[in-house]
């Protein structure tokens, strides 16, 4: 049976912490390329993904539901109406591949959590939606672990750097340029972003006079 | 058969990028606690670990070999003399557990690489020492991948945030305080370091007037 996967997405002024590297238009294209990458990975692992967007969105490759609620109430409303298992996975994980999605789905626990760098939660897989609720922001990984424990649900922590690496800061782009093979990594390269190795440290630099090639079709 | 694992270790003035959070003595204790954690994980997975130290070191829990060579020549000299498989793993990976070590050792490829955050290489497992050499520093992960390919060796990338998270910067301490259960995490807590959650971001802070409890017996 195909597992439903929801990808929350906020298309407006995304990834503002990358403003010094990418223009607003480029950040919008980049966010959409990352969304496309995660949808591709989900499909590769046999999931049925849909996008939960804060605004109407034209998207050719996945169903879109619109909710003007904040992340937590929007997802908890969804958990309240759904039956069976659900995977919630963030839209800014361009290194995720079908292998790690399969590792999540094959958990023997009631809940699988994919921690994000800095205390966040990048993926939550619940086998029974009615027994879990989400509480994002802050050290949400610790909150989600506690919610599972408080409901008597067994919990597996998924050990994956691909799932752990959400892209927010310039240093995260280093990871994407090193390990990325999808559309988001390709978009960065089309913008002229490349690795810069100085004094043993690896950073990114942007070659002058390049603008990213246009966004793909949503 | 037990796989030999070498852990390079430089005990003098370690982890200088944590100087604003931990004193020199504390950083030395912390580095030793991280070393002890990785040795424990290696033993838990059935490896035979030894420490390759830049200076003589009294250590009660693992054999120590001393080499005054730099990291690359020291390890390449070792690869040149050893027969059979070898795991090279860094000393600053306090989140590594026996599960990820077992994943490395069970690779079907000739070489398994554990990338570190920022382009480094946190683990290298080679099945035949005579066919590989190391080249650390800079984007060493890319170099090691190329070395394997150049020698016609198949290569698996180990997807683990526990292996990916080497502790160098203050933000890495957040990961350790969230996910760590070993001696290094305990040492940080004994120093009064704790998570600080402000405006949805997770940082560390140090409670005043605490100094770390003494180093364990090496």
Average pLDDT over residues A161-176: 97
3-class DSSP state for residue B86?
strand
Q: Do B115 and A178 make contact, defined as CB atoms within 8 angstroms?
A: yes
Q: Looking at residue B217, what is its pLDDT? A: 46
| Residues B176-205 pLDDT 10s | 999 999 999 999 999 999 999 998 889 999
pLDDT at A207 over 60: yes
pLDDT at A143 over 60: yes
Name the nearest CA neighbour of B88 among B47, B57, B60, B56.
B47
Where is average pLDDT lowest: B35-44, B130-139, B202-211?
A: B202-211
pLDDT at B216 over 80: no
What kind and span of H or E run contains B206? strand B201-206
B197 CB near a chain A CB, below 8 Å?
A: yes
| Residues A73-87 pLDDT 10s | 999 999 999 988 999
Q: Looking at residue B211, what is its pLDDT? A: 66
Q: Which residues of B touch A178 (CB under 8 A)?
A: 115, 119, 139, 141-142
Average pLDDT over residues A77-102: 97
DSSP string covering A90-107, please?
Answer: -S--TT--HHHHHHHHT-
How far, rounded to the nearest angstrom, does the alpha carbon of residue A112 sit from its chain's CA centroid?
Answer: 15
- Complex ipTM over 0.85: yes
Q: Looking at residue B215, what is its pLDDT? A: 65
Q: Do B175 and A117 make contact, defined as CB atoms within 8 angstroms?
A: yes
Q: What is the pTM of this model?
A: 0.95
How high does pLDDT run on average in chain A? 94
Q: How far apart are CA A76 and CA A82, in angstroms?
A: 10
pLDDT band at A69 (very low <50, low <70, confident <90, very high): very high
Q: Looking at residue A217, what is its pLDDT? A: 46
- Interface mutation vs chain B, best among A139, A167, A168, A179, most B CBs within 10 Å: A139
Q: How far apart are CA B205 and CA B191, in angstroms?
A: 10
Q: Which residues contact B91 (CB under 8 A, 6 or more apart)?
A: B7, B8, B9, B31, B34, B35, B38, B51
Is A179 exposed, middle or buried (CB count within 10 Å of its CB: 0-12, 13-18, 19+)?
A: buried
Average pLDDT over residues A156-164: 98
> To the nearest whole angstrom, how far is the Cα of B83 from the nearest Cα of chain A?
31
Name the nearest CA neighbour of A137 among A204, A95, A83, A90.
A90
Task: Give B88's strand partners.
Answer: B6, B124
| Residues B142-166 pLDDT 10s | 999 999 999 999 999 999 999 999 9
Q: Which residues of A touch B197 (CB under 8 A)?
A: 119, 138-139
Contact A120, A166 (CB under 8 A): yes
Question: Hey, where are the domains in chain B?
Answer: 4-164, 170-206
pLDDT at B167 over 80: yes
Q: How far apart are CA B101 and CA A154, in angstroms?
A: 23
| Residues B36-57 pLDDT 10s | 999 999 999 999 999 999 999 9
| Residues A32-67 pLDDT 10s | 999 999 999 999 999 999 999 999 999 999 999 999
Name the nearest CA neighbour of B134 among B90, B81, B71, B92.
B71
How would you label B178-205 residue by residue, b for 16+ Cβ within 10 Å and e otherwise? bbbebbbbbbbbbbebebeeeeeebebe
DSSP H helices, chain B, are 24-44, 71-81, 98-105, 140-150, 161-164, 170-179, 183-190
Average pLDDT over residues B92-114: 98
Residues in chain B: 218
| Residues B67-76 pLDDT 10s | 999 999 999 9
Q: Which residues contact A1 (CB under 8 A, 6 or more apart)?
A: none
pLDDT at B218 over 80: no
What percentage of chain B exceeds 90 in pLDDT?
A: 89
pLDDT band at A200 (very low <50, low <70, confident <90, very high): confident
Q: Smallest Cβ distance to A162: which of B117, B159, B171? A: B159
Neighbour count for residue B117 (Cβ, 10 Å): 26
Chain B CA closest to residue A96? B159
> Where is pLDDT greater, at B203 or A209?
B203
Q: Do A174 and B142 make contact, defined as CB atoms within 8 angstroms?
A: no
SS3 sequence of B122-159: EEEEECCHHHCCCCCCCCHHHHHHHHHHHCCCCEEECC
pLDDT at A180 over 80: yes
- Integer CA distances (angstroms), B1 to A132, A164, B85, B86, in order: 44, 33, 10, 12
Q: Looking at residue B214, what is its pLDDT? A: 59
Q: Which residues contact A174 (CB under 8 A, 6 or more apart)?
A: A195, A202, A203, A204, B118, B119
Q: Looking at residue B212, what is its pLDDT? A: 63
Average pLDDT over residues A148-167: 98
Q: Which residues of B touch A171 (CB under 8 A)?
A: 118
Q: Which residues of A touch B168 (CB under 8 A)?
A: none
Q: Looking at residue A152, what is its pLDDT? A: 97
The answer as to CATH 3.40.47.10 being correct for domain B4-164 is no
Q: Looking at residue A116, what is its pLDDT? A: 98
Average pLDDT over residues A144-162: 98
Q: In terms of DSSP bridges, do strands B111-115 and B155-157 run parallel, antiparallel, or are they unpaired?
A: parallel
């Amino acid at each position: 049976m195909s597992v439903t996967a929801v990808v929350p997405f906020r298309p407006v002024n995304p990834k503002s912490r990358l403003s010094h590297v990418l223009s607003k238009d480029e950040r919008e294209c980049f966010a959409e390329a990352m969304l496309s990458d995660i949808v591709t990975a989900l499909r590769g692992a046999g999931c049925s993904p849909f996008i939960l967007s804060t605004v109407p969105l034209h998207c050719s490759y996945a169903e879109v539901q619109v909710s003007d609620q904040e992340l937590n109430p929007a997802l908890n409303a969804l958990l309240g109406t759904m039956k069976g298992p659900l995977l919630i996975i963030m839209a800014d994980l361009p290194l995720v591949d079908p292998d790690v999605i399969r590792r999540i789905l094959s958990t023997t626990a009631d809940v699988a959590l994919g921690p994000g760098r800095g205390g966040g939660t990048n993926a939550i897989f619940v086998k029974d939606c009615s027994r879990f609720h989400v509480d994002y922001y802050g050290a949400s990984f610790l909150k989600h672990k506690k919610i599972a424990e408080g409901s008597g649900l067994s919990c597996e922590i998924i050990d994956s750097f691909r799932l752990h690496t959400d892209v927010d800061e310039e240093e995260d782009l280093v990871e994407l340029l090193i390990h990325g093979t999808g559309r988001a990594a390709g978009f960065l390269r089309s913008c002229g972003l490349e690795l810069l190795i100085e004094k043993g440290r690896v950073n990114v630099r942007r070659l002058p006079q390049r603008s990213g090639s246009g966004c793909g079709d949503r």
